[in-house]
Each structure stands twice: as structure tokens, then as C-alpha cells.
A = this chain, B = another copy of it.
Amino acid sequence: MMRAVQDFYPDDFAHCYGCGRLNRDGLHVQTLWRGEETVARFTPRAEHVALPGFVYGGLIASLVDCHGVGTAAAAVERAAGREIGAAPAPRYVTASLHVDFLKPTPHGPELELVARATEIAGRKVTVQVEVWATGLVTARGTVVAVALPESMRLARPDSER
């Protein structure tokens, strides 16, 4: 059975617009292992265009972001000898996000994101992500993810308490 890392985020941290299973209006990106790399698939909605016929770059950045962070969590767990589902997944957040848009991404087909964690250094994980559409890489991204800081566990704004 294929298990997505996002299915094992603790409930308190499962509301992300991009990948949280508890965000009713979100994108629900799911990160799965495939051998030594991770994959996520997403079919853009009708409104997710940049120009007619092409996928919106901000959506691509969002998919790269969430699949990158999910890959960071999966890679740290595997490095510790745990597969997805063996325990609650650790929650990473994005320190930096870089996307190179290599060519226009056609709107319509399902996109496949393929990622690898290329460095785990203390609380910081670097992940490289490719975005595939109709058999071509249309974008490449790099996500630097860090383990959820205490300030985001505790210091919610007043409006959310």
C-alpha cells in the first residue's frame, strides 16, 4: 500500500493549503516514495492558468514547496530507519524556495513531481524537485526545509487563539 507522508502529519499541523488533509479547500498534495525518490501527482484545476493553455507558475511553486517539504520529512524518517506510516511524520517548513521555469507547462495533463533530498544537515534538509508534464521536465525547484520552529508551534497570532 502506498502511503503519503501528509497522511501522517499530526492533526495540529495538517491544515496546509497545499498539502494538509484537513484543509477542505486546499490542493491536497501527497508525497509518496518510489524507490529512492518521491513522487506527487496533481492535475491543475481549470482556473490554474497563467495564460490560456499554460499552468500558473505560482501553482507550480506551491506544488514544489509542499512536495519538497513532504520529501524532507520522508527522507529524515527513512534516514532514521522508519518508513511512512510507522510514526507521526515530522513537520518541516520552508526556509527558501527556488523555481526555474524551463519551458511553458501545458494546462490539462496531470503533472508529476519527482524529488530527492540531497542533503540532511541538522534541522535543515535540501530537496531538489522536477516538474514533469507530458514526458518533459518543464520546471526545476530547490526547497530548503527546516524542522518546525518552536515559534510556529506556540506563537499563534491572537486572532487564531
Closest 7 CB pairs of A and B: A58-B62, A53-B156, A53-B160, A25-B47, A17-B56, A61-B61, A108-B159
When the two chains form the complex, which single residue of B48, B66, B95 contacts A17, counting CB atoms closer than 8 Å? B48
Q: Do residues B157 and A107 form an inter-chain contact, with CB atoms below 8 A? A: yes
Asked if B160 contacts A50 (CB within 8 A), the reply is no
Q: How many copies of this protein are present in the complex?
A: 2
Closest to A58 in B: B62
* Partner of A49 from B17, B45, B99 at Cβ < 8 Å: B17
Given A49-B23, A62-B62, A160-B107: A56 touches B16 (CB 8 Å cut-off): yes
Q: How far apart sit A47 and B51, CA to CA, in the bound complex (Å)?
A: 25
